Amino acid sequence: MLNISHVLGSRLEPAFSERIHRLEHHNAVDIVELSAADLERQQLSTITRGGEELKIALPRHQKLFDGAVLLLDDVHAIVVRAANRRWLRLEPRSLNDAIELGYQVGNLHWRVRFEGEALLVAIEGRPENYAVRLGELIWSRRVGMSVLEEDTGADAL
């Protein structure tokens, strides 16, 4: 059993995202899927998708969240995924905005799916972090943004 005593950070943070991306190419990122209720807990025992048993005991000032990095070393990582998937719905206002949005999202390696003319991005962490990364596209209202919640039945590409 692996004891987890603190959250290292978010998988979206630059300090972690590149390393985790490299590990994903080697199938070395294990996921622990937690319900909304479990995300609120400070202590719990669970099993990752890969079968590793975890005992999580966090200090009071830390919380679990979608995209939380629990373990990261040179050979593997363990990341939290919320059981209910949240999606960021991005709606470009023009063809040029759609092309720029696609370019940005592709470079950031975000997991996406398509719904008509909207691009849905799987949220791992805080939605406002995504708005910051897309910057001017969101602030100038060239791309509309909203948050959707759904069950894990949705598959991201």
Where do the structural domains in the chain lie, given as residue ranges?
2-82, 85-150
Q: How many other C-beta atoms lie within 10 A of the C-beta of residue 122?
A: 19
Which amino acid, 53? Answer: E
> What is the band of 28 on the pLDDT scale with cuts at 50, 70, 90?
very high
- Please say if the pLDDT value at position 154 is more than 50: no
Level-2 CATH architecture, domain 2-82:
Sandwich (2.60)
Among 77, 76, 88, 78, smallest CA distance to 124 is for 88
CATH top-level class for 85-150?
Answer: alpha beta
**Residue 59: both structure tokens together:** 């200090």
- Please say if the pLDDT value at position 55 is more than 80: yes
pLDDT digits (tens, 9 = 90+) for 113-145: 999 999 999 887 778 889 999 999 999 999 999
- Please say if the pLDDT value at position 100 is more than 90: yes
What DSSP string runs through 47-98? Answer: E-TT--EEEEE--TT----TTEEEEE-SS-EEEEEESSEEEEEEEESSHHHH
